[in-house]
């Protein structure tokens, strides 16, 4: 009857991991980031994040691409799923969905190695009710409830069917950066 000890061990591990979840601090602080007992899920607080340089959409209706590079500054970890992206305006915000053709991949990062993903958006008309006047970009990782925020300088984002709360934007899959 080895099943009972294995079940107890698995339950204890799950409870330990649950106790180490992030604190919801939107400043990018992730108190769980430095603890190796968190398992292998990457935490945004343990990453150096570089946003851009971007291929900016110059006018309303044009498409822009913003590469984001995450460099692991902690123990080996794994990115799984897609980055969580929120576009925040002065009085509203919207979440960005994965690109329709993107396939989620697992990327393992040793300390000092990097992964990238691309945020694609359609520029909206300034002052238009169907556009979100974005002020900040918030980035989070699957498995954690914390985000890091960055200034947005790429213009308003067009909403689907003129709904500013449903941005014409998407996030791509993680890919290993470098060699």
Report the run of H or E that residue 65 belongs to, with start and end. Answer: strand 63-72
Quote the CA–CA distance of 105 and 152 in Å, as a whole number.
27
pLDDT tops 70 at residue 11: no
Domain count, the chain: 1
pLDDT, position 148: 96
Backbone φ/ψ region at 176: left (φ over 0), alpha (ψ -120 to 50), beta: beta
What range defines the domain where residue 162 resides? 3-176
3-state secondary structure of 169: strand
Task: Tell me the pLDDT tens digit for each residue of 28-83.
Answer: 444 333 334 345 899 999 999 999 999 999 999 999 999 999 999 999 999 999 99
pLDDT score recorded for residue 143: 79
The answer to whether 78 touches 140, Cβ cutoff 8 Å, is no
Residue 116: pLDDT band with limits 50, 70, 90: very high
Assess whether pLDDT exceeds 70 at residue 27. Answer: no
pLDDT of residue 91: 86
pTM for the model: 0.75
| pLDDT level of residue 8 (50, 70, 90 thresholds) | very low
Q: Which residue has the higher pLDDT, 13 or 130?
A: 130
Alpha helices in the chain (DSSP H): 3-18
Structure-model confidence comparison of residues 23 and 58, the more confident one: 58
Q: How far apart are CA 131 and CA 25, in angstroms?
A: 28
pLDDT at 105: 87
Return the percentage of the chain with pLDDT > 90, whole number. Answer: 66
């Amino acid at each position: 009857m080895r099943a009972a000890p294995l079940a107890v061990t698995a339950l204890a591990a799950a409870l330990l991991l649950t106790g180490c979840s992030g604190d919801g601090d939107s400043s990018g602080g992730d108190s769980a980031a430095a603890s190796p007992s968190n398992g292998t899920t990457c935490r945004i607080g343990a990453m150096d994040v570089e946003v851009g340089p971007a291929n900016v959409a110059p006018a309303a209706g044009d498409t822009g691409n913003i590469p984001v590079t995450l460099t692991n500054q902690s123990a080996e970890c794994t990115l799984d799923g897609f980055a969580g992206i929120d576009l925040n305006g002065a009085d509203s915000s919207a979440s960005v969905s994965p690109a329709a053709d993107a396939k989620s991949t697992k990327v393992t990062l040793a300390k000092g190695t990097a992964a990238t993903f691309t945020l694609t958006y359609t520029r909206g008309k300034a002052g238009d009710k169907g556009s979100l006047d974005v002020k900040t970009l918030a980035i989070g990782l699957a498995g954690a409830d914390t985000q890091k925020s960055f200034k947005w300088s790429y213009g308003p984002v067009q909403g689907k069917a003129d709904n500013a709360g449903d941005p014409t934007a998407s996030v791509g899959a993680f890919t290993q950066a470098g060699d």
